[in-house]
């Protein structure tokens, strides 16, 4: 970590922290079940055998959590709305209170409408789910739209497709491999229909949060290059191309269900901004049988690529490679690929899992990534915001509570919140940004 202060970002740059409903809310008895409830109830699905029934007990403790956000000094809070909770009588009341509390604390609410907790009776393999999502979006907008001025439709549809429906390591636990592609199409359609529904309800400033990372070929051999190219299509283009260019990457559209051409018009509804969740690059080579663990997932045999270790770089407590400069690489490559079709970018997630409250490793990670983001800005990428994942330690899906991503430590027995060293560090960074000198000509 360098001793130089972090360079100044433009005025109006949005600094925030993120969470998601299923990972923090608890109060599972006050909402309808989601696919994650059924999944976690199956023995062996979650590594430590835990569930999110209580999680951070945020539904009861949201005032304390909003006070933490205010103390941190963020401009915005990205949370998700639980569709199963909204489907429960009175379920929207909680978000009403949360949004009021945020507004009173001067923190801008940025809800995500879907962060993987699909109502248990729905299935993304069915087209109807996309239409149901748009109806749900309209219901949320009608209730919160007087105070919410920035929206996110979906979180990481790529991971939800891959981990939940192709590999079966997340809910709903389907192992369909490439037969999972309709799940991608229906989420994209749901996004486009929801953008229209939000705008019809007066909503504006609408984006999506997609996960992306550079794909690095394992070698210059043609088999490795082809495998890396294939992986890059799955992670970086399967969702971005339809959203930004109105078409699927070559060879993919034919595999999608329904009237794809008509759907693509809906999917490519112009976005106000594009959210990028960035954690790490991936090194990819030709198939090798069963691959290495990748973010806690053992890649099965039979895929046309294999994920390889990136040697010579530090790793987080989760084993993810720490490569900040790959964030600059990703964003400049995105700008080059999509040109003026790419709207302003917001980093909707970036963070790392480490144990302990004296988390100097998290400080080093965030410091380096924020600098890398500034490098992208200097290289001409129009970046407008940065959200840390995550405000709180939380339920990290199939990993249970073992992976701690929070700026705030949560004792899951007592629910005591303890701000970590990284919380104090970020608070100083944000205070300096608010008092500093503007960056160059892109300041708004
Ligand atoms: O915790 C998740 C989040 O729900 C989605 N993006 C990645 C995070 C860390 O794994």
Residue ranges per structural domain of the chain: 2-442
Mean pLDDT of the chain: 95
Q: Is 80 in the pocket of ligand 1 (CB under 6 A)?
A: no
Question: In angstroms, what is the span from residue 350 Cα to ligand 1's centroid?
Answer: 9
Residue 114: beta bridge partners?
154
Q: Is 20 in the pocket of ligand 1 (CB under 6 A)?
A: yes
Q: Is 396 in the pocket of ligand 1 (CB under 6 A)?
A: yes
Q: Is the pLDDT of residue 161 over 60?
A: yes
SS (H, E, C) the chain: CCCCCCCCCCCCCEEEEECCHHHHCCCHHHCCCEHHHHHHHCCCCCCCCCCCCCCCCHHHHHHHHHHHHHHHCCCEEEEECCHHHHCCCCHHHHHHHHHHHHHHCCCEEEEEEECCCCECCCCCCCCHHHHHHHHHHHHHHHHHCCCCCCEEEEECHHHHHHHHHHCCCCCCCCCCHHHHHHHHHHHHHHHHHHHHHHHHCCCCCEEEEEECCCEEECCCCHHHHHHHHHHHHHHHHCCHHHHHHCCCCCCCHHHCCCCHHHHHHHHCCCCCCEEEECCCCEEEECCCCCCCEECCEECCCCCCCEEECCCCCCECCCCCECCCHHHHHHHHHHHHHHHHHCCCEEEEECCCCCCCCCCHHHHHHHHHHHHHHHHHHHCCCCEEEEEEECCECCCCHHHCCCCCCCCEEECCCCCCEEECHHHHHHHHHHHHHHHCCCCCCCCC
Q: Is the pLDDT of residue 145 over 90?
A: yes
Confidence of residue 290 (pLDDT cuts 50, 70, 90): low
Q: Is 394 in the pocket of ligand 1 (CB under 6 A)?
A: no
CA separation for the pair 430, 106 (Å, rounded): 15
Amino acid 2: pLDDT: 63
In ligand 1, the atom with minimum distance to the C-alpha of 20 is: 4
Question: In angstroms, what is the span from residue 319 Cα to ligand 1's centroid?
Answer: 14
CB 255 within 8 A of CB 320: no
Q: CA–CA distance from 44 to each of 55, 105, 299 (Å)?
A: 19, 41, 17
> Which tens digit of pLDDT belongs to each residue from 321-353?
999 999 999 999 999 999 999 999 999 999 999
Confidence of residue 439 (pLDDT cuts 50, 70, 90): very low
CA 286 to chain centre: 28
CA separation for the pair 309, 294 (Å, rounded): 9
Q: Is 117 in the pocket of ligand 1 (CB under 6 A)?
A: no
Q: Is 112 in the pocket of ligand 1 (CB under 6 A)?
A: no
Q: Which residue of the set 101, 156, 269, 329 is catalytic?
A: 156
Q: Which residue of the set 101, 329, 349, 396 is catalytic?
A: 349
In ligand 1, the atom with minimum distance to the C-alpha of 353 is: 9
Q: Is 210 in the pocket of ligand 1 (CB under 6 A)?
A: no
428 is catalytic: no
In ligand 1, the atom with minimum distance to the C-alpha of 405 is: 9
Q: Is the pLDDT of residue 435 over 80?
A: no
Which residue's CA is the closest to the ligand 1 atom numbered 2? 396
Confidence of residue 291 (pLDDT cuts 50, 70, 90): low
101 is catalytic: no
Ligand 1 pocket, mutate which of 405, 406, 407 (most atoms under 8 A from CB): 405
357-378 average pLDDT score: 98
87-92 average pLDDT score: 97
24-43 average pLDDT score: 98
Amino acid 441: pLDDT: 28
2-442 belongs to which CATH class? alpha beta
In ligand 1, the atom with minimum distance to the C-alpha of 23 is: 4
CB 110 within 8 A of CB 16: yes
> Which tens digit of pLDDT belongs to each residue from 109-144?
999 999 999 999 999 999 999 999 999 999 999 999
Q: Is the pLDDT of residue 189 over 60?
A: yes
215-230 average pLDDT score: 98
Amino acid 295: pLDDT: 59
> Which tens digit of pLDDT belongs to each residue from 245-282?
999 999 999 999 999 999 999 999 999 999 999 999 99
Which residue's CA is the closest to the ligand 1 atom numbered 10? 396
Strands 297-298 and 293-294: what pairing? antiparallel
Q: CA–CA distance from 439 to each of 16, 111, 436 (Å)?
A: 19, 29, 9
CB 165 within 8 A of CB 183: yes
Confidence of residue 442 (pLDDT cuts 50, 70, 90): very low
Amino acid 296: pLDDT: 63
Confidence of residue 357 (pLDDT cuts 50, 70, 90): very high
Question: In angstroms, what is the span from residue 436 Cα to ligand 1's centroid?
Answer: 31
In ligand 1, the atom with minimum distance to the C-alpha of 397 is: 1
Q: Is 129 in the pocket of ligand 1 (CB under 6 A)?
A: no
Joined together, the tokens standing for residue 81 give 């709305």
Confidence of residue 219 (pLDDT cuts 50, 70, 90): very high
Question: In angstroms, what is the span from residue 442 Cα to ligand 1's centroid?
Answer: 31
Amino acid 303: pLDDT: 87
Quickly count: other Cβ atoms within 10 Å of residue 235's Cβ.
Answer: 20
Q: Which residue has the higher pLDDT, 290 or 108?
A: 108
Q: Which residue from 233, 234, 219, 213 is spatially nearest to 288, judged by alpha carbons?
A: 219
420-426 average pLDDT score: 98
Amino acid 437: pLDDT: 40
């Amino acid at each position: 970590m360098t001793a130089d202060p972090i360079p100044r970002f433009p005025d109006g740059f949005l600094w925030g922290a993120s969470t998601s409903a299923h990972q923090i809310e608890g109060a599972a008895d006050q909402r309808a079940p989601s696919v994650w409830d059924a999944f976690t109830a199956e023995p062996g699905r979650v590594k430590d055998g835990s569930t999110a029934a209580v999680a951070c007990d945020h539904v009861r403790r949201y005032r304390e959590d909003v006070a933490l956000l205010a103390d941190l000094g963020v401009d915005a809070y990205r949370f998700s709305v639980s569709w199963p909770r909204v489907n429960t009588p009175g379920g929207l009341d909680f978000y009403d209170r949360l949004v009021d509390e945020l507004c009173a604390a001067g923190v801008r609410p940025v809800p995500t409408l879907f962060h993987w907790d699909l109502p248990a009776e729905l299935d993304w393999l069915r087209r109807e789910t996309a239409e149901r999502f748009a109806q749900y979006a309209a219901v949320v907008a009608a209730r919160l739209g007087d105070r919410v001025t920035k929206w996110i439709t979906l979180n990481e549809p790529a991971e939800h497709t891959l981990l939940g429906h192709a590999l079966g390591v997340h809910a709903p636990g389907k192992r369909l491999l490439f037969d999972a592609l309709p799940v991608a199409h229906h989420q994209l359609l749901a996004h486009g229909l929801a953008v229209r529904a939000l705008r019809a309800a007066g909503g504006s400033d609408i984006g999506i949060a997609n996960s992306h990372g550079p794909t690095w070929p394992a070698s210059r051999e043609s088999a490795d290059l082809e495998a890396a190219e294939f992986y890059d299509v799955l992670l970086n283009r399967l969702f971005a191309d339809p959203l930004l260019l109105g078409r699927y990457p070559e060879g993919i559209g034919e595999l999608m269900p329904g009237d794809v051409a008509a759907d693509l018009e809906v999917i490519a509804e112009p976005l106000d901004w594009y959210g990028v969740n960035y954690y790490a690059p991936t090194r990819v080579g030709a198939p090798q049988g069963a691959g290495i663990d990748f973010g806690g997932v053992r890649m099965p045999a039979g895929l046309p690529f294999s994920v390889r270790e990136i040697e010579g770089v530090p790793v987080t407590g989760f084993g993810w490679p720490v490569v900040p400069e790959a964030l600059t690489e990703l964003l400049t490559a995105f700008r080059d690929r999509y040109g003026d079709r790419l709207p302003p970018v917001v980093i909707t997630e970036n963070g790392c899992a480490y144990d302990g409250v004296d988390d100097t490793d998290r400080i080093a990670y965030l410091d380096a990534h924020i600098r890398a983001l500034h490098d992208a800005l200097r290289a001409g990428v129009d970046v407008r915001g940065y959200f840390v994942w995550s405000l709180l330690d939380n339920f990290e899906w199939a990993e249970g509570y073992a992976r701690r991503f929070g700026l705030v430590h949560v004792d899951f027995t007592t629910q005591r919140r303890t701000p970590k060293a990284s919380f104090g560090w970020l608070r100083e960074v944000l205070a300096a940004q608010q008092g500093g000198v503007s960056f160059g000509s892109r300041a708004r």
